[in-house]
Chain A
Amino acid sequence: MHTHLWLIPFLPFLGFLAMGLLGRRLGRTGVAVIGVGTVVASFALSLIAFAAMKAAPGQRLELVALDWMAVDRLRVPFGLVFDPLSTAMALAVTGIGALIHLYSVGYMNEDEGYPRFFAYLNLFVFFMLILVLGSSLPLIFVGWEGVGLCSYLLIGYYFRTDFAPAAGLKAFLTNRIGDLGMVVGMMVLFAHFGTLTVGELLVKAGGLSPETTFGVLTFATLMLFVGATGKSAQLPLYVWLPDAMAGPTPVSALIHAATMVTAGIFLVCRLAPLFELTPITLTVIAWVGAATALFAATIGLAQRDIKKVLAYSTVSQLGYMVLGLGAGGFAAGFFHVFTHAWFKALLFLGAGSVIHALHHEQDLFKMGGLRAKLPFTFWTMLIGTLAIMGLPPFAGFFSKDEILYLAFLKSPVLWGMGVLGACLTSFYMWRLMALAFWGEPRDAHAFAHAHESPRTMTVPLVVLAAGSAVVGFWGVPEAFGGHFQVGRFLAPSLTYGQTAAEAVHHHGPAVLLALISTGLAIACGWWGFASYRGGLALAEARAARWPGLHRWVAGKYFVDEGIEKVVLGPVRWLGNLLWKLFDVILIDGIGVNLPGALTRVSGDLLALHQTGRVRNYALLMTLGALGLFWVFLR
């Protein structure tokens, strides 16, 4: 029974095999049908599973195909687990994945590597589903590494450019650092509990009193969180994500919205009862999340590339999710993953649509006035923007509000950081909208040739926009008269048979806080919109010499310019500085230059000892032996 559930991850894999092996022989249509069809089919299956899960809450199904690894004490089954958490996540992955596949049919239409692209994409979905559904940590790790590998392949997809392969490699390497944490955490858990199956692990952890295992668990969970930091692009390992924009836009959407980056959040949720036992880890998580949310939002202010803005916004939103987890709101964090998947996919695909229309122009400063030309894109992206800024009743509002409230309970400072981040988010998103869709076209040629995207691209946009508008209602917090159903739904997975976490009761301040944060966000959004509605006039006006007559007229802008100088200037300066500091020094330093430096060291090392002369070798051997002797005598 339930064999059809196996198909959920393996259908995309079959698609990958078919496209990988047959390739061009399938033809364009064949590739599109298989690529989209398999993912849609597994979406349908996930939907069935989800419905079943909804009907019987608290159900948990573990399917074991075989004993995968069995080496003395280590026994790892190759199995899938279906519980509320994994089915909900699988639903989001396959659903959004399917839409992105559909979109790619149009977006990649002119690309020659069509089958290769879809093969990678399907493999990506497969690994993500393995990650989500895997019943043991090694299997989850397989998915974890698998999505890393696929992202490497996909980001480096445009391999003819110099930049793309380097970016792919950087993504992969940064992730490896996180993976080290994950492996160490896994090993410590195994050494302590003697099992790596999630179910057994959580049962055993629940049976222990916190005092006895405190140190070990804290270390293990911190290590696992380092892994999550790499995958979910938190400070300081976020560095790969902005560069990952080098890939085709649907890939960015897939990586950013539904799959790869949420892996870290998902891992923490999966092991929520373990994290629950370690308050120190939770505090670390909360602060890292809040810092990331604020930090990335600041950087987002200074970007010109439309995809970079969205990339930093993803980092920032991930910060919120992590903040939610750290504040103990695993359900809230997951809920934000869920809502974010919709509106971020929407925004990315919308940006992709803009880029596609302008023939791969990504510079915001060269856009403008596209409102009329790209109506579908404009309206759907508007909904996405409203959702991400947290305007009720769009999706982002409920999830973000829940997180901010929990953060407030933990520490008002965290709340303040979150609200500030939300204001900045609102600002740069409206800046993006204003620069792209309002004002005068700043590149007449590109504008003249702009055209609305084909149906395969707009349909996913519309679906995602609808989703962004309504999915928030799944988790209306109690403060607003809802029941935070998502929390109830997920509770069996997150508490794992232990005492149910107390439902968060929203008291008086909840509504007030929500009003404050929303109000501020709206204000900042308007500010951003107003500053850039006129295009780049501000910047140009400043540069131009104004005749006396126009001076007074221009005075209207003088206020704005003042604000620009006094308030925005420093903020943007800070953003730029941080960007320089982290992106240029740290990322390029670690991600790009470190291998280079290592290579240089390697060369020196070799020149020093691998001289090709036998006598030098013999001498070094003798010295080595003497050195070892010295170790003993010491």
Chain B
Amino acid sequence: MVPMNAVLLLSFLLFALGVAGVLIRRNALIILMCAELMLNAANLNLIAFARHSGTPAGQAFALLVMGLAAAEVAIGLAIVVALYRKKDTVQVDDINLLKG
């Protein structure tokens, strides 16, 4: 068995990667992917600890999260496409009509 602290560390690295991506990248699609990465970091925790304790709840939760993530991607892509049709760009730094 892998020690649980290692799992936590790995998931934290994944999570931090996701956060960093959201903060650094400018492409809306990649930001979206990074947000999904954060969800996967959480999934890793859920699955590993569910396996660790031998109960199925966490694994079922992870499946549910995957489904939700897919729905989120679908909606996100739709919005990004709508934006692209309007502004011809998916760079988030180019959209700041609303501010102040």
**Contact between A607 and B100, CB atoms less than 8 A apart:** yes
Alpha-carbon gap, A545 to B63, bound state (A): 102
Query: With an 8 A cutoff between CB atoms, is B92 at the interface?
Result: yes
- For A586-628 the 0/1 string (1 means CB < 8 A from B) is 0000000000000000000011001111110011001000000
Please, which residues of chain A bring their CB within 8 A of the CB of B98?
Answer: 612
CB neighbors of A among B10-42 (8 A): 19, 22-24, 26, 31
Alpha-carbon gap, A611 to B93, bound state (A): 10
Alpha-carbon gap, A622 to B38, bound state (A): 13
**Contact between B92 and A611, CB atoms less than 8 A apart:** no
**Contact between A612 and B96, CB atoms less than 8 A apart:** yes
**Contact between B96 and A613, CB atoms less than 8 A apart:** yes
- Give the interface size class of chain A: 10 to 19
Contact A611 to B95, CB < 8 A, known contacts A618-B23, A619-B23, A622-B19: no
Contact A612 to B100, CB < 8 A, known contacts A618-B22, A622-B23: yes
Alpha-carbon gap, A610 to B97, bound state (A): 12
Minimal beta-carbon separation of A624 from chain B (angstroms)? 13
- For B84-100 the 0/1 string (1 means CB < 8 A from A) is 00000000110111111
**Contact between A615 and B26, CB atoms less than 8 A apart:** yes
Minimal beta-carbon separation of A107 from chain B (angstroms)? 46
**Contact between A614 and B23, CB atoms less than 8 A apart:** no
**Contact between B99 and A614, CB atoms less than 8 A apart:** no
- For B42-79 the 0/1 string (1 means CB < 8 A from A) is 00000000000000000000000000000000000000
Identify which of A613, A618, A619 contacts B93 (C-beta below 8 A): A613
Identify which of B23, B97, B100 contacts A615 (C-beta below 8 A): B23
Alpha-carbon gap, A440 to B52, bound state (A): 103
**Contact between B95 and A610, CB atoms less than 8 A apart:** no
Identify which of B19, B24, B92, B100 contacts A614 (C-beta below 8 A): B92
**Contact between A612 and B23, CB atoms less than 8 A apart:** no
Identify which of B19, B22, B31, B99 contacts A610 (C-beta below 8 A): B99
A610-B99, A612-B98, A618-B23 given; name 16 further pairs at CB < 8 Å. A606-B100, A611-B99, A612-B95, A612-B99, A612-B100, A613-B92, A613-B93, A613-B96, A614-B92, A615-B22, A615-B24, A615-B92, A615-B93, A618-B22, A622-B19, A622-B23
Complex A-B: 9 CB contacts under 8 Å: A607-B100, A612-B95, A612-B96, A613-B93, A613-B99, A615-B22, A615-B24, A615-B26, A622-B23
